[in-house]
Structure 1
Amino acid sequence: MKKLRIAIVSAIEHTTPYNIGRERSICMPIEIANRVCEGMVAKGHQVTLFATKGSKTKGKLITNDLIPISDSKELKKIYNENKLRFKKSIDRSFWYETIGTAQLHAGVFHRTYTMEMQYLMSEAFYQAKQGKFDLIHILHSPEHAIPFSRLVKTPVVITLHDQFKFPRTLIFNYYKKQPNLYYVSISKDQRQPMPHLQYGGTVYNGTDIKNFVFSEKKGKYLFTAGRIIPKKGFHLAIAASLKSGVPLKFAGNIGSNTDRNYYDQKLKPFLNNRIQYLGTLSHKVIAPYFRNAQAFLFPIKWEEPFGLVMIEAMACGTPVIAFNHGSVPEVVKDGVTGFIVNNVEEMVEAIKKVDQIDRRKCREHVEKNFSVEKMIDNYEKVYYKLAKKHSR
């Protein structure tokens, strides 16, 4: 089959791939862009990555001389001039502190991001108009890319990472009849608010399984991880731990002042030798906590499109006990790789019977459905389908 000429547009917060040392990745679109880009190159496709300076790829890199937003001297200056007005974030993340500061300064961050993102995207579409690509894949900021789609005949694929929310939904509806514009959902549930859009397929996010070593031996504690925000339900995980009598460890980054208040008021008062906050952990450091847990708790309070931590836990053999929201029923096989519950009381009951779960089946479920290789294969199928449709 003929190899494709593919343009992949990543985000500009950081380099692609994203690596800031000790911290676990907090920008999934960048991580997926990197995995898809390198996977397509390995398959022999001609890939051009549009990303910031400092990014790395085995394909062709175009940066338009843009530096990552997180390295912006102008935004750092704003932060340094006003940092005394704001509390330091617990994990001392410049990125979050900068956003928090910039948003309070007449939206300077958003204006900067919009201009630079559109500048990079316009280059991809300009080259597409010259006939250099068979397909453009946008991994971030769909609202900035969608208006450009009407300027080319090349199929444009946009991966949706977030919920559909106003005002972003406006632009989806404005261009809903654009014939060369396609969306890829990361779960079937994600489509529910806007089923009328033109979808190219559903492609589940994949994890690099070799980073998560399997273990048949269960641990003696519960584990949960993610951004420390209310809708992730960390306070509910604590409640389940207290009621079940099983210790809990949790990890994640604390960003804005609102998130920090949530931590201070709802989580910190319960910390002791049985309920432990581990801070923000790198991929390498966090993997053993997944692997050695008795169960991974996912008590989310929102319709999360996809929860990568669930597949990371199952890749280690650790069963997942999750609230029935969003993509959970598509990721967890109830009674096979964990349990799907509706409240803390049901979560406590599930903890009592988690030993019934075969940890090997958890691993096999991820290998079959949620590996990086599976994700890349599925994107390639979408690419070929749409490229063929528009080559007629």
Structure 2
Amino acid sequence: MRIAMMVKGCVCTPAPADIIYSPMQLATQLARVWAGRGHHLDFYGPVGSEVPGARVIDCGVPPLVTDKDEFTEALTDPGLASDNILALWDARLAQEMFLRAGRGEYDVLYFHHPEVPLPFLAHHPGVPVVSSVYDSPLPPLLTQAIGMFASPQHRLVAISAAQRHADPNLTFAATIPGGVDTADFAPDPAAPPGRHLLFAGRLVPEKGVGDAIEVARLTGHELRLVGPWYSNSSYFADEIAPHLGDQVRYLGPLSLAELRAELRTRPRALLMPSRHESFGLIIIEALACGVPVIGLRRGAIPEIVIDGQTGFLVEDVDEMVAAVHRLPTIDSDACRADAVRRFSLDGMADAYEALFRQVGSA
């Protein structure tokens, strides 16, 4: 197949290490798999993007973002928002994708943000388009816009059943969970069992960082925090920094390779006190490394963690503390086996290939 793919026009792929941006991670990994299977991949991104296995087409678009602070500023800058600059950067790349598809150069266009292709659909009715939806619930006006531009050739993909439930007004062609390279994310058999707990994600209130810190305090375990914090918010300085020390350590916004190395140190568990997760790629990365997961029974976490087998599903901090004490009952080999069986990168690539063929022949 001939596949054209795009994430965003404002930031290079791969994303800077201090930006947690799962769509880019999945895009680069899928490109590598599909290229290895003989498919032709064109990746559309700003100047400086590099995607192994794909030809990068940048249309001369310069990146607007090079780190997490610029990313935050770009999303909140009234000048960029009022002039639709971010959308125009996306549109320049998407326009080229549709023009080339109209000339028969591609079998399918694949977008990692569903709003990007919307303005072009009516002008290219013969071009098959697939868009992954990563966030849920979507903002009501975005849901309305997707309905306004609805087209038979635009198929939406959900990443979990919880996401479909959160966005009942959207029509999804498939549900395809995220996948992880289980050869890359694997336990280190030489590493001794760790005694520490791990939190990995954006250091923002909705991710439940404060709850993870409280669990560490109540259990006496060391907690390592991984992820970016944002200079336009006082949350890190007010709610996290005062707790840092010997028991709670901040490792910074690690690169993917550094995160993988941290998972291979065999943490006792990954804590997921997030209020809502549409999926949670870090969960399957941890499980693939044999690390059990303790998470709230919210969002998509119950679709990934098997309670009592690959971790524990809980309702609050007290139950999370109790689950930490029950961790010796979890078999790390079972954690990895389930991740390999249900959440491999190859399985994810297979599911998208099947959908691409379906929409291409419709």
- Tell me if both proteins adopt one fold, taking TM over 0.5 as the criterion: yes
- Identity in percent: 30
One-letter identity of the residue aligned with 2:167: M
CA distance in 2: counterparts of 1:191 and 1:372, whole angstroms: 21
Q: Partner amino acid for 2:12?
A: T
Give the structure with the higher percent helix. 1
Task: Find 1:7's aligned residue among 4, 8, 15.
Answer: 4
Equivalence for 1:227: 202
Q: Which moved more, 1:199-208 or 1:332-341?
A: 199-208
Matches within 5 A, 1:213-362: 213-215=186-188, 217-258=192-233, 261-291=234-264, 292-301=266-275, 303-362=276-335
What amino acid sits opposite 1:168 in the alignment?
Answer: L
Aligned position for 2:41: 47
Does the Cα contact within 8 Å between 2:10 and 2:89 map onto a contact in 1?
no
1:144 to 78, 102, 116: 116
Match for residue 96 of structure 1? 69
Q: CA deviation at 1:313?
A: 1.2
Q: Are the structure 2 counterparts of residues 342 and 50 from structure 1 closer, same or farther at C-alpha, using a change threshold of 3 Å?
A: same
Q: Which amino acid aligns with 1:13?
A: C
Query: For the structure 1 residues 294 and 206, does the alpha-carbon distance in structure 2 shift closer, same or farther, using more than 3 Å as the test?
Result: same
TM-score for both structures, normalised by structure 1: 0.85
Distance change in 2, residues 1:339/1:56 (3 Å): same
d(CA) in 2 for partners of 1:378 and 1:27?
22
1:380 paired residue among 338, 353, 356 = 353
Residue 103 of structure 1 contacts residue 110 of structure 1 at CA under 8 Å; is this kept in 2?
Answer: no
**1:182–1:238 distance in 2 versus 1, CA, 3 Å:** same
Q: What letter matches 1:266 in structure 2?
A: E
Rounded to whole Å, the distance in 1 between the matches of 2:71 and 2:33 is 33
Q: Contact 2:65 / 2:74 at 8 angstroms: preserved in 1?
A: no
Cα distance, 1:223 vs structure 2: 0.9
8 Å Cα contact 1:222-1:248 kept in structure 2? yes
Preserved contact between residue 19 and residue 68 of structure 2 (Cα < 8 Å): no
Aligned mates of 1:110, 1:293 — CA distance in 2: 46
Question: What's the TM-score once normalised by structure 2's chain length?
Answer: 0.91
SS in 2 for 1:48: strand
Q: What is the 5 A alignment of 1:39-188?
A: 39-57=33-51, 58-70=53-65, 94-97=67-70, 99-100=72-73, 103-107=76-80, 111-140=84-113, 142-152=114-124, 153-163=126-136, 164-176=138-150, 178-188=151-161
Q: Tell me the CA shift for residue 230 of structure 1.
A: 0.4
Kept after mapping to 1: 8 A contact 2:263/2:291: yes
- Whole-angstrom CA distance in 2 between matches of 1:308 and 1:168: 24
2:262 match: secondary structure: helix
Cα distance in 2 between the residues matched to 1:373 and 1:184 = 17
The CA deviation at 1:126 is: 1.4
* 1:277 Cα offset (Å): 1.5
| Contact 1:47–1:59 (CA under 8 A) maintained in structure 2 | yes
Query: What amino acid is the match of 1:186?
Result: I
Amino acid at match of 1:50: Y
